[in-house]
Structure 1
Amino acid sequence: MPEIIEITVYRLDELSDAAKETARAWYREGGFDYDWYDAVYEDFQRIAEILGIRLKARPVRLFGGGTRQEPCIWFRGFGSQGDGACYEGHWDYTKGAAKRIREYAPQDDALHRIADALQTIQRRNFYQLRAEASHRGHYYHEYCMAISVERDSPTWQDMTADAEELVIEALRDLARWLYRQLEREYDYLSSDEAVDETIIGNGYTFTEVGRRFG
């Protein structure tokens, strides 16, 4: 014979502090199975474009069949050895990048420094430098980027002695910047405030001890 069992369920704001922590832990464990980083990626694509970086793309299979192109950006985080972010792309000189990055992100000194560094080394090489960044290995951080630098000189003139090192460091600095933005976004989305807002907005209910009910 089937039995009817009655149970009292609670909204998040009706739980004790300890039960709220249990409810939040439940959400954090499975609540990030979506592309929560999309906004950061979109921002990074715009910044890369301003700096003169054409990100490579890769095909990604869709559930309904077919594929779509996604930028070659990867990351792994947070808090473990080997965590970081990287990307693949082609870089060359883009006029006005330092000015445009300040217009786009006026408060971001790190991006200003990266744009200035790239512009300075281009100037020393008559704006003829270009580079390619490719991912290598099984990890995703700035040192997993193999970066080749060359000078496209019509007279076969060599690049300045410091050019390769400075370009590589600037492009890796950009990968570090990207990782910091991803970490900041994740920290916000997993904060008590954001988690509570999501739980309440979705109408989740819990048992008295904070276990998910419905």
Structure 2
Amino acid sequence: MPEVICTTVYQFPELSAAAKDKARSWYREAAVTDDWWDAVYEDFERICDILGVSLKTRPVRLMGGGIRQRPCVWFSGFSSQGDGASFEATVRHAKGSAREIRAYAPKDHALHGIADRLQSAQRQNFYQLSADVTHRGRYYNEYCMTIDVARDSPTGQAPTGGSEETVVEALRDLARWLYRQLEAEYDHLTSDEAIEEGIIANEYTFTEAGRRFG
């Protein structure tokens, strides 16, 4: 014979401190989806375009059976030794990149510095430098990128002294920059403030112990 069971449910602000912790833990797992980094990647792709960094792509199979090209960008994080970000790309001079990056990200001095160093190295080599960036190994950080710098000189001139190192370190700094953005985004999404805002906005209800109801 069917029974009717009544359960008292609570809005998040009505829960005890311990129950709130349990509710946050439940929502935190749901909040960090497989694609939480997409917005950071999109921003990174735009920045790469400005800097003359053409990200390589790889085919990824979609749920519906189709194929999509995704940029060759990877990361691991955020609490283990060796965590970081890396990418594969080809790099060439991008005219006006130092000016354009300041217009796009006026307060990001790290990006300004990367653009300035790449521009300086190009200027010293009559804007003939190119680089090929590939990933190696099973880890993902700036030191897992092999960066080969060459000078496309019609007379066979080699890169000027120190310019290869300048390009290599600027590109590694770009990978470090990406990792910091990913870490900041993850910290924001999983912060208590963001979690509570999401719970309250969605009007979720919980048992007295903090277990999601419904």
Same fold (TM over 0.5): yes
Q: Which TM-score applies when normalising by structure 1?
A: 0.95
Does 204-213 or 38-47 show the bigger shift?
204-213
State whether structure 2 residue 108 is matched by structure 1 residue 125.
no
Match of 1:63 in 2: 63
Q: What are the ranges of 5 or more consecutive residues in structure 1 without an aligned counterpart?
A: none
Does 122-131 or 202-211 show the bigger shift?
202-211
State whether structure 2 residue 107 is matched by structure 1 residue 84.
no
Deviation at 1:12, TM superposition (A): 1.0
CA distance in 2, matches of 1:143, 1:27: 35
Does 181-190 or 110-119 show the bigger shift?
181-190
Match of 1:96 in 2: 96
CA distance in 2, matches of 1:76, 1:15: 35
CA distance in 1, matches of 2:115, 2:45: 15
Match of 2:191 in 1: 191
Match of 1:143 in 2: 143
CA distance in 2, matches of 1:41, 1:88: 13
Q: Is the 8 A contact 2:31 2:189 kept in 1?
A: no
Does 43-52 or 182-191 show the bigger shift?
182-191
CA distance in 1, matches of 2:83, 2:5: 47
SS across alignment from 1:113: helix
Listed one character per residue, the Cα deviations across residues 13-67 of structure 1 (whole Å, up to 9, x for unaligned) are: 2111221111111222343123111111111101000000111111111111111
CA distance in 1, matches of 2:50, 2:100: 7
SS across alignment from 1:34: coil
Match of 1:29 in 2: 29
Deviation at 1:3, TM superposition (A): 3.7
Listed one character per residue, the Cα deviations across residues 64-114 of structure 1 (whole Å, up to 9, x for unaligned) are: 111111111111111211211111111010111101111111111000000
CA distance in 2, matches of 1:205, 1:69: 40
Match of 1:54 in 2: 54
CA distance in 2, matches of 1:32, 1:208: 25
Listed one character per residue, the Cα deviations across residues 141-195 of structure 1 (whole Å, up to 9, x for unaligned) are: 1111111110100000011121221111000100000111111111111111111
Does 15-24 or 150-159 show the bigger shift?
15-24
Tell me the amino acid that sits aligned with residue 56 of structure 2: K
Deviation at 1:2, TM superposition (A): 4.5
State whether structure 2 residue 160 is matched by structure 1 residue 160.
yes
> Sequence identity, in percent?
66
CA distance in 1, matches of 2:61, 2:15: 42
Q: Is the 8 A contact 2:128 2:151 kept in 1?
A: yes
CA distance in 1, matches of 2:3, 2:130: 73
Q: What are the ranges of 5 or more consecutive residues in structure 2 without an aligned counterpart?
A: none
CA distance in 1, matches of 2:12, 2:34: 22
Indicate the RMSD between aligned Cα atoms, in angstroms: 1.3
Match of 2:207 in 1: 207
Aligned length: 214
Distance change (3 Å), C-alpha of 1:129 and 1:73: same
Tell me the amino acid that sits aligned with residue 32 of structure 1: V
CA distance in 1, matches of 2:141, 2:19: 37
CA distance in 2, matches of 1:134, 1:2: 64
